[in-house]
Amino acid sequence: MTKVKLSAVFGGASSAPVERVVCHPRLPLVAAVDGGRRAVHVLDCGRDELGLLASIGSGSAAYGEVEPWERGMRDAFAAWHPVEPQLLVATKATVWSWTPTELRELTALPAGAAYEELLFSPDGSTLWASPSSTSSRDMDAIDLATGEVVAVGAYPWGGAHPSGAVMLTTSQDQGSSRIDFLRVEQGAPADRRLQRLMVVLGNDAYQPPIFSSDGRFFAIRGNAYGETLTAFEFPSLEKVLHEEFDGTEDDGWWRNDITFGAKPGALWVGTPTGALWSYDLVAGTKTEHGVLTGHQVTAIGCTSLGHLVIGCDNGEILLASISDGAAADHPIDPDAVRTDVAAFLAATEDVPADIDDVESFLIAANDNDR
């Protein structure tokens, strides 16, 4: 039976929640987005401990009493380089770069740039930054080796498949939304191509979808009319989980409260009571774990070592180990990763750049589920 053990506690005694936790995919580093001001806290989460390495924007003014949706619009945005120990933070038209040796403002950016979202390409060679410095409808693709900047199509951020060949994004509308797939086109800078195959969702107001570390599953939290969790298998795109939680945001649910663990098919959820739930998407089971904290879980992530990092509504950050969830015990098979993404790409195609009616060209993989 899976057991969760609390290893370390950091912070707390704050009126500001932890809005989001962003774990480095390969290193024991985590960025915690402050829900009370435009700030990001960088922590070392190795050795079963949590140690503060830096705080970016900690001197900025507090939000005060604001609605959750407004707070989310104000928050700083944090993005890890996929390989190196480098964190980029966008806040108030400034981009900060943190590494273990320095914290500095990035100045070699296009004139007029006021980026709100940042995303590295899966190989780390390109930075996609939105909105573009030349068009609010596009985003800038910045070649990090040469500094070349090209305006490309803007897509909301989402998870990357471990192959680096496919990324997730969303297209949202009040009546019906969808999960889109983007083929990563290598280049200097890299770009992304919308795929014909997609997954239809009901309603809108979804969080960015995430991939499991082995790429076999992806999941998404929503939506405007209920607290839902939906997961799909990849590359089949078959729905394997859909659950609607009791209560609403007013009852303490937060939308950054899911993460995949290192164990294949393990999907974790943080709850308003402070308890954790785990879903085994392979076996089709759900387990309720004990309460680790007396506070609402507001954000959750999984470290490169397979530990859970849990943010709370009082600013507390917890580090917890999972008895059968260590990353070292669940190595990823690179051949299987490549096979899965090749099968998906063989079943779809790029949406032509010059097509007038994109919607009519797309194919829903889950038409029979609706």
Range of the domain at 283: 4-369
pLDDT at 98: 98
Count of CB atoms situated within 10 Å of the CB of 85: 17
pLDDT at 251: 82
Distance CA 296, CA 7 (A): 18
CB contact at 8 A, 293 and 14:
no
Considering only CA atoms, which of 232, 213, 234, 220 is closest in space to residue 347? 234
Q: How confident is the model at residue 173 (pLDDT cuts 50, 70, 90)?
A: confident
What are the φ/ψ torsions at residue 221 (nearest 5 degrees)?
-105, 140
CA dihedral 316, 168, 119, 333 (to 10 degrees): 80
pLDDT at 107: 87
Q: How confident is the model at residue 71 (pLDDT cuts 50, 70, 90)?
A: low
**Which of 62-76, 119-133, 263-277, 343-357 has the weakest average pLDDT?**
62-76
pLDDT tens-place string over residues 356-369: 899 999 999 987 55
**Which residue carries 């949590």 as its tokens?**
50
Please compute Rg for the chain using Cα positions.
20
Residues 106-113: what's their mean pLDDT? Answer: 89
Residue 294 has pLDDT above 90, yes or no: no
What are the φ/ψ torsions at residue 339 (nearest 5 degrees)?
-65, -45
Residue 203 has pLDDT above 80, yes or no: yes
Q: Which helix (H) or strand (E) holds 181?
A: strand 176-185
pLDDT tens-place string over residues 50-70: 999 999 998 888 887 776 666
Single-letter amino acid, residue 305: L
Q: Which two tokens stand for residue 364?
A: 């829903």
Instruction: State how many domains the chain has.
Output: 1
Q: Is 31 helix (H, G, I), strand (E, B) or coil?
A: strand
Distance CA 79, CA 175 (A): 31
Q: How confident is the model at residue 73 (pLDDT cuts 50, 70, 90)?
A: low
Residue 14 has pLDDT above 80, yes or no: no
Distance CA 27, CA 318 (A): 18
CB contact at 8 A, 138 and 191:
no
- List the CATH number of the domain containing 292: 2.130.10.10
Q: Which two tokens stand for residue 106?
A: 């990035």
Higher pLDDT, 72 or 225: 225
